[in-house]
Chain A
Amino acid sequence: MPELNTSSLPDLIFSILFFFMIVTSMREEEIKIDFKLPKGTELSKIERKTAVVNIYIGRPSSNYISQFGTGTRVQLNDRFANPSDVGPFVINERNSMRQADQAVMKVALKADENVSMGVMTDVKMELRKARSLSLMYSADERNAK
């Protein structure tokens, strides 16, 4: 019985590797919050990922409950914060962006579907005060009926 020729196996794996390198992007921050995004039908994709600032809102995930409790929390970059920290954070992020991105900067609110509007409103008010008016509620696609 002739041996199976495996010389093309590396090429195959390399193409899978390249595929994944293209369709994925580096994970920048560790997400310390559990969230399940709401579902919608009128969604659009982000055109420029470098011009997006992520804000996570939800309950701390299981590793952090002992430290931060089970209440609704806001995560900015790698740390937990209060809604009142959002304004300075967004201004800071905007200043560290490239000029071209600053003009089209967008904030993506990745909030759990079970949070209440109180905290959302506080965050939105901070964004308005920081004049960061382009906002996106992150969501998952729901197939239209």
Chain B
Amino acid sequence: MSKVEKDEISGTDTTGHEWDGIKELDTPMPRWWLWTFYATIVWAIGYWIVMPAWPLISDHTRGMLGYSSRANVEQELAAVEESRADVLKALRETELAEVKDNQELYQFALTGGRSHFAVNCSQCHGSGAQGGPGFPNLNDDDWLWGGSVDDIYQTIQYGIRSDHEDTRVGNMPAFLKDEILERDQVSDVTEYVLSLSQEGRDAEAVARGKEVFANECASCHGENAKGGRDFGAPNLADAIWFYGGDKETIYKTIANGRANVMPAWEQRLDDAVIRQISLYVHSLGGGE
């Protein structure tokens, strides 16, 4: 039902539609708007021709200008790499312990180290390097294999119990599973280890365990159980536990052994990147 009428007040025609007595004026578009609209159409056609636009079945139209966002990204990445070449070279050629003397280089290494850590290391060590059971916390002052920046560098390069020929290896034997100790003996040693950091353990068991410890464990963990970095043997007398400090976990560790692996990164990452990560980890608060 449409009847175009002329509106008396404005002198404009109505659209002819009516909704519950409400009619709408057929006010024409402003000219500037129309011309802008036409211009965008012309622009769009031009755009189809010069820029990549239409999807095809297995490809898309390339456009006359040959623009490609992928190529742009590659170019930008190459430019970034080039701009960093000098500082990366300096990093490779500076002794790790001396990088700190060059604040600009040091800050570069820390910033880069943080993001490389997030990409490569955080999966096991956590995004804040706080670790977890079986994965050392890198913020604290307890180090299995040494906490100087060179030690950290070596650990990242060659890994621990990794498949690299220069890897460092320390074995925690499975004392019960491999029938080195009896069930009771394992239990006694557990009591002894707990007594190093806790009071009120079973005194008799502790005395028996101490004897077993001196025979079987002290060669790696040391006579006073303060650990040994040559074998990556943890300090058992401090407040930090690698796998957990409750009785059950310690028993399990002694009975079944432990052999977690830190991969070697020498083949996977650029030396400058490993150096950045080493400096970053060293800066987290526990570096020696």
Say whether A and B bind each other: no
